[in-house]
Structure 1
Amino acid sequence: MLPARALGTLAAPAQGLGCMGLSEFRGPVDERRALRTVHRALDLGVTMLDTADIYGRGRNEELVGRAVRGRRDRVVLSTKFGIVRTDDPNERSVNGRADYVRRSCEQSLRRLGVDHIDLYYVHRIDPATPLEETMLALAGLVAEGKVRHVGLSEASPEEIRRAHAVHPVSAVQSEWSLWSRELEAEVAPTCRELGIGIVAFSPLARGILSDGFRTLDDLAADDDRRRNPRFAEQNFDRNLLLVAALRDLARECGATVNQLALAWVQARGADVVPIPGAERPEHVEENARAVHLSLSSDELRRIEELSPAEAVAGFRLDRCRAQMLR
């Protein structure tokens, strides 16, 4: 089993599993392999599973629900609401109205096949709805026992404070990796001041901080990362050079590049839980071994010098997702 970390008052394993790519966005879907991947994660103690109602248009929650049957009491189950998809893949809106919060929760509970959600995130904060309305609706769901803990995703320091003043926020989820460090300036200090944990999504920069890529041909034709600026042809090769710079150090540490990158995120603090995505059981196994990789202060410094965030080519999000950040 993995050591525990605290996300507010929620105990979670030191590493979780981002389940998004098991149902969409990462090329062809193989549900049998996806179930094996989740089961392998649970066997290894990677018992925090992260999904959302929009992943696969609900299919990801259904998949996760099937995967945890018979093991529900061992799992920290987290999902999200608030992003509304249309038939246009480049179009998304947000909804934080109280009636939508309740309806979304009921639908997620049915898809997951459970009676409560351990950590329920506001996926994106709705600028057209008072944040207090959204949080009061979540507080009601907590009072009813349908939600145990509340989280925010990609929230600003001001939004975190406003939300936490209405109902305790246990975790803030945001991108945090060796290459994406924007939250270190204000978001992370705000969370720590308020006793809120941090869940780091894309801790491997959508997989590029690994040995998994050599050319863009390694991506399936319908892989969503082909739209990401860091995977754009003019940026990809430059970014791979930053990955290559880490390989010798990884070997010195008896690790792979992705284990080095994950260990760097884990070293940001005992209140940080990275949730790397994985589409195969062997990827989960490799990622989980990073939990036991302890890096010295000198090694952490060398990682940052070899692959500095300011040298990365391309913004971390594609245009559609970037428009949702205010």
Structure 2
Amino acid sequence: MNKREIGQSGIFASELGLGCMSIGTDQSQAEAILKTALDEGITYFDTADLYDFGVNEQLVGKTLQPVRDQIVIATKAGNRWTDNKDSWTWDASKAHIKEAVKHSLKRLGTDYIDLYQLHGGTLEDPMDDTIEAFEELKAEGLIRAYGISSIRPTVINEYVNRSHLSSVMMQYSILDRRPEVQALPILAENGVSVVARGPVAFGLLTDKWREKLSKASKKGLKWYDENSLKDVLTVLENEKPAGRTLNGLAFRYVLHHPAAAAVIAGASSIEQLKENARAVQEAALTEEEYKWIQDISKTADYDEHRL
């Protein structure tokens, strides 16, 4: 599987990363999925301290420990579970980040994190202190690079202008092209990578889209109604270039942009994981194919994410 550099960090990761949130808490099942990912050439594993109260990090760290020097582990911080663990609060303070990284390192069973990400962010955060925390962790050798997970253009712009972040994780797909206008240009210009989550758009960009349609249209794709979604997907499916698959188009579309380093996709089964790995290894899109997809699909604005 091809690898790309994350920003200007010197860290090279597989074009497909495994979103580990969906591997579950059953150890045998989680291990099977993680080991299959390795067999498929995946070297990028994305987790967070929030997932399963830290159990996710433990499973990832334990299973991947034998190949630690061959992989990229990304995790996140910024959310704090309440004492009764029924909700969480946001904390982007320097003190919390520097404390949270210690717990993540312990759960992961490693002495460094490749990519440490702020799990959100707003303009009200103590941004200078947050950046200082990440920079100190880099200087201390506890992390190799840092980034943010955000779909807020204003927040992204601030971090690009004020920090040395390597990546921004954000939702991006053929059906959610919002990043193309307000985020990707500034990232590409500054050597910051986008790590795209949700590349198959709630399962719509797969051959199972008909059974997903009614629910997916209500899950954050409000610029499409159900009928227009059906129209777009029907054209993509029926008129796609020879040798292409729908989910192959989905992965390759995202990876076509010069700012893209990787797509992160979850997998709750080995079969799903293998299909994602197959799809991402389809040939790169031609410019004609890329333009064809853009002509079919819609752009949209981040009208609800200004702060």
| TM-score > 0.5, shorter chain as reference | yes
Residues 82 and 123 in structure 1, CA contact (< 8 A), matched pair in contact too: yes
Question: Structure 1 237/83 Cα, relative in aligned 2: closer, same or farther at 3 Å?
Answer: farther
Partners of 1:269 and 1:164 in 2: CA distance:
17
> What residue is the counterpart of 1:26 in the other structure?
none
More deviation in 158-167 or 277-286?
158-167
> Against the structure 1 CA distance between its residues 298 and 278, is the aligned structure 2 distance closer, same or farther, given a 3 Å change threshold?
same
Q: Structure 1's 216 and 206: CA in aligned 2 closer, same or farther, altered over 3 A?
A: closer
Deviation string, structure 1 residues 240-289 (Cα, Å, up to 9, x no partner): 44323322234x43232111111111111264311122222222222223
1:68 to 1:325, Cα distance in 2 relative to 1, 3 A? farther
Alpha carbons 1:243, 1:307 under 8 Å: kept: no
Partner of 1:228: 219
The one-letter amino acid of 1:67's match is T
Contact 1:7 1:271 in 2 (8 A): no
Residues 1:278 and 2:274 aligned together: no
Match of 1:46 in 2: 42
Q: What TM-score comes out, normalization by structure 1 length?
A: 0.81
CA RMSD of aligned residues (A): 3.1
2:202 to 202, 206, 210: 206
Partner of 2:8: 8
1:22 aligns with 2:23: yes
User: Relative to 1, partners in 2 of residues 1:256 and 1:155: Cα closer, same or farther, differing over 3 Å?
Assistant: closer
Closer, same or farther in 2 for the Cα pair 1:203/1:302, shift >3 Å? same
**Pick from 144, 148, 161: which aligns with 1:148?**
144
Superposed counterparts of 1:186-197, under 5 Å: 186-197=182-193
Which amino acid counterpart does residue 191 of structure 2 have in structure 1? G
1:152–1:283 Cα change, 3 Å: same
Report the Cα distance in structure 1 between the residues aligned to 2:107 and 2:57, rounded to whole angstroms.
Answer: 6
Deviation at 1:324, TM superposition (A): 8.1
Ranges in structure 2 where 5+ consecutive residues have no aligned partner: none
Q: Provide, for residues 5-59 of structure 1, a one-character-per-residue CA deviation record: whole Å limited to 9, x for no partner.
A: 4422232222211112223xxxxx6543332222121222211111111112212
Compared CA separation, residues 22 and 161, structure 1 to 2 (3 A)? same
The one-letter code matched in structure 2 to 1:137 is: A
- How many correspondences in the alignment? 303
**Cα distance in 2 between the residues matched to 1:6 and 1:166:** 18
Q: Which amino acid aligns with 2:254?
A: V
- Relative to 1, partners in 2 of residues 1:307 and 1:165: Cα closer, same or farther, differing over 3 Å? closer
| C-alpha distance in 1 between matches for 2:247 and 2:165 | 30
C-alpha separation in 2, matches of 1:84 and 1:73: 29
Whether the 8 Å CA contact 2:154–2:306 is kept in 1: the answer is no
Query: 1:213 deviation in Å?
Result: 4.2
Partners of 2:212 and 2:271 in 1: CA distance: 22
Alignment counterpart, residue 237 of structure 2, candidates 237, 244, 247: 247
With over 3 angstroms needed to count, the CA separation of the structure-2 counterparts of 1:271 and 1:308, relative to structure 1, is closer
Compare 262-271 and 74-83 and name the one that shifted more. Answer: 262-271
206 and 98 in structure 1: CA distance in 2 versus 1, 3 angstrom threshold: same
Alignment of 1:261 onto 2:250: yes
> Closer, same or farther in 2 for the Cα pair 1:269/1:99, shift >3 Å?
same
Amino acid at match of 2:145: H
Pairwise mapping of residues 86-165 of structure 1 onto structure 2 (< 5 A)?
86=82, 92-154=88-150, 156-164=152-160
The separation in 1 between residues aligned to 2:220 and 2:159, in whole angstroms, is 32
- Closer, same or farther: CA 217–126 of 1 in aligned 2, 3 Å: closer
